[in-house]
Structure formats: structure tokens, C-alpha cells
Chains A and B, each alone.
Chain A
Amino acid sequence: MRVVEKRQLLSAEEMDRTLQRLAHEIVEKSGGTADLALIGIRRRGVPLSERLAKSIEAFSGVKIPVGTLDITLYRDDLSTVAPQPVVQSNDISFPVDDRDLVLVDDVLYTGRTVRAAMNGLFDLGRPRRIRLCVLIDRGHRELPVEAVFIGRTVDTSDTEIVEVRLQEIDREERVMLVDRVS
């Protein structure tokens, strides 16, 4: 099976503009920054959450707490994951109780990652509210999960893959739609 690139969904510049807009939306729809905190889902949600916090700080002057969540222990498909799973630490240095949390991830697809992330958060405490922010919503939900903050909605087929490339992880910056062909 090969993977071929079909088209580019976002350029580096568009990604930057999209994240700026999302940062503003998060503050506006939260009625300010009180109790607000961002939680990036490993892996690509982490740099995205840090960038969002940085731009919120740039226009509001407020430093929003940012945490990192690893969902490996909460997955529902462990026995079908190959190769060996690797568990990483959560890095959330503030209590999540009564916080207004925004989960951040790169792509929203089946919704299972978000389900796993919420279970992980509940093990740490009782947030007042959890909302979801994603760079790309590609549809095909298998659970009743929706994002409040969406960078771009994209129609995709089941065989297609949305690949988000981030400078911090991939040394390049763009979003592509690729397809599996046999």
C-alpha cells in the first residue's frame, strides 16, 4: 500500500492565521481568561496548545496555564495497536478542579481520542467545563463528540488521511490530505 499526497489543506501562513483566530475565539467565547487553561493532547496537540497560549498572551497579556495529556492508558484499541505502545507522562502542573479547560488536538476524526482524553482528565479531578479545539475537523465521527473551536472543516473519504506537519515535530509546517492506494 502506498500513500500519495492529494492536496495541501493549509500552508504555513494559513495555519498561523487560523491559530490566531482560534486564540481570539477561545478568549471571546470564554468571556475572558479567568480559570481558563489549555490541555494539549500528545503529540501534535502539545505544540498547538503552546502556540495558542502564546498568542493569547500576546494580545491579552495573560499567561494561560498549559498542560500536556498522554492518552495511551485510556485508549480503547490497545490490543490492536502496533507496535508496542509507549506511555508518556502527563504534564499538568495545576489542579484541574473547577478549571475551564480547552482540549487541543490537531485532527478530529472518530472522536475516540477525545473520549480517552476526557477519561484521563477526570482521573485528575473535576473540571468545571471541557471544550475542544482542533485545527482540522475531518468528519467520520464514531462517538457523540464535537469541537467548539475549529480551524477548518474538511470533507474526507474513509481511506484518506489528514497529515498535520508542525515545525516543532516534523521540521516543516503545513497540512496535507493524503490517500492510501493499493
Chain B
Amino acid sequence: MIPRFRNLLGTEPLNREQIEFILDQTRPFQEFQRHPLKKLATLRGKTVALAFFEPSTRTRISFATAASRLGADTMNLQAESSSLKKGESLLDTVWTLEAMKPDIVVMRHSSSGAADFVARHIDVPVINAGDGSHEHPSQALLDALTIRDRKGSLDNWNLTILGDILHSRVARSNIHLLSKFGARITLCGPPMWIPRELESLAPNIRRVWRIEEALDGADVVMVLRVQTERMHEPALPADEYVRRYQLTPERLRLARPDAIVMHPGPMIRGLEIDPAVADGPQSCVLEQVTNGLAVRMTLLFHLISAPATDAPHPAKESHASD
């Protein structure tokens, strides 16, 4: 029996079986990205509402492309042009969208918990495409897929995450997901961005202040973007960040020889990552982007095409006996 889920709000509520189901189901969609004709009619007549209350380029384009390749149409709500600027409440905006009858809502919002809140107030499935510093589950799923493809399995890796963990929903979603697969997790970065509370997110998390120590024995290294808008808080000059925390080829040599390097993007070369690492053989940055499409096609397909209830469906199974 396949584990059902109606919404995708985070990786924390998912169990291993559900995660493995999603990852297994991405395979045909990965192959599809290599087809000469990248257009399916599977979700023809379905509408995906892209509700981005916070600016986004890559995630929005990835979901829009995934929807388009499945044959679905999209409605676009973008922060810059939205009525939010005119003072409309989140719920009023979402109800307005819902009144246009989308089949699913993909949303991003600057407040943690926003997707969960919206899911409780509308009748269509919701995919959380990032809520504050809480979760970004589709990113963690595409990261998991990339790790599984590159390393052959998802189990028991030494994961090192570098940078601003405190404000990173990508880090949280990855920690929740990978710890279900036995990951031993090391967090490293400026101490103000790695408070002690993060250790309670999952078992087997440790905080390390020296990058050399954090990289020792790592199988997977995730580099987070330095959110320059946050560098002014307790001031940390960029050159200081580079000196202490930049992932350089010399430092990467401390990790396992077959370690992989990931970055959720947008990547700032020369700040958190040395260009030689970003373009090196251990980098999976572009595979992550391609896998993102496959994961998002999988999510849209399954959340839209799955029957809403567990009740047996009376419809004639014309294909099953065909």
C-alpha cells in the first residue's frame, strides 16, 4: 500500500516510506528530462497556482516548468505585483486564488508556518515552497535524490552543513529528511547563526566551529548561501567570512575523497564557495537543478492525480482490464 499525503508542508511530518516512494517515483520524470519532446498531456486542464508572497526565481521557474511539462496551466501571483502590497490579508488573497479553482497551490511566504496555516483554510492541496526559516521540502527532496543518485544510497552519511543554519529553511528540511536515514550531521558557521537549539532538531547533530574539523570525514557537504542582507546584524565582514568559512579546494580535501558538494543556490562564488569547488568534479549544483524538475513533476503529478479520499472509487477501471 502506498503511503498517502494530501499536502507537502515539510519533510518533518514525512516518514521514510513516503520519502522513498517520492524518490522512487522521480525516476521516470528524470528520464523524461532527456526526451526530445518535453511535453506531456497528463495534467491537461489542471491548474497550478503559484503563490509566491516572497520573491523567488529558481523555485518558481522550476515549479512552473514542471507544471508546463505535465501539461498543466499556471496562475502566477508574485510578491512584487501582489495585492499584499495594498494591505490584503494572506487569507483573503488565498481565498481569492482558490475561488479561481486551481487544483493545487504552491506557495512561498516569509512567515514560518504560513503554508500550514493556508492548508487548513482551503480545500485544495498545498505544497510549501518555502515558509520563513521553517521548511522547503521540495529542495530537501531534490537534494536527497541527488545524494542517492551520486552515492548509490541515502543511508548513514556524514553530512556537513556550512553557513547560516539559523535562517535556512533548506538546512532544516534537509536535517529532518536525512536524519530519518541515519545521517550524522555537523553544523558549522559563525556561532550567531548556529544556536544550541538546532541540536534538538534531530538526533546526531553536533555544532563545530572550525571548518577543518567540520569537513573531516564528511560524505556530503552542503554549502548555504550567505544572505548578505543578514551580514549587518552582529556585523561579520565578508572577508572575515571568506577567511573562516569559505569552502576551498584545500579544505574540501579534508572530506572523504568521494564526498559531494551541494548548494541550493543562488550561489555567490568567491564568498561561501571557491569557484574551483563550485565547478569541480565533486560539485552537484547543476544536477540539483535538473533533479528539482523531476521532483516537482513527481509532486504535482501525485498530489493532483491522487483521489482526495481513501474511499473505494466506483468508476469503471477501463484500463485495468483493457
Contacts and interface: CB of A to CB of B under 8 A. Distances in A.
Contacts of B40: 73-74, 123
Interface string A66-105: 0000110111011111111111111000000000000001
Contacts of A122: 37
Contact of A112 (B305, B313, B315, B318): B318
A67 B316 CA distance: 29
A162 interface: yes
Contacts of B35: 123-124
A109 interface: yes
Interface in A96-148: 105, 107-113, 116, 119, 122-125, 142
Contacts of B306: 83-85
Contact of A82 (B1, B36, B39, B312): B312
A81 B317 contact: yes
Q: 9 closest pairs, A vs B, by CB?
A: A82-B313, A80-B315, A109-B322, A113-B322, A78-B305, A73-B42, A84-B306, A89-B28, A84-B2
A87 B28 contact: yes
Contacts of A81: 305, 307, 313, 315, 317, 319
B55 to A, nearest CB: 32
A174 B247 CA distance: 63
Contact of B2 (A79, A83, A109, A113): A83
A107 B321 contact: yes
- Interface of B, secondary structure class, is loop
B25 interface: yes
B302 interface: yes
Contact of A87 (B1, B36, B301): B301
Nearest to A82: B313
B41 interface: yes
Given A74-B40, A74-B41, A86-B2, 4 more contacts: A78-B42, A82-B315, A87-B301, A125-B36
A125 B35 CA distance: 9
Contact of B315 (A77, A83, A87, A161): A77
A110 B307 contact: no
Nearest to A108: B322
Contacts of A107: 321-322
A113 B319 contact: yes
B317 A70 contact: no
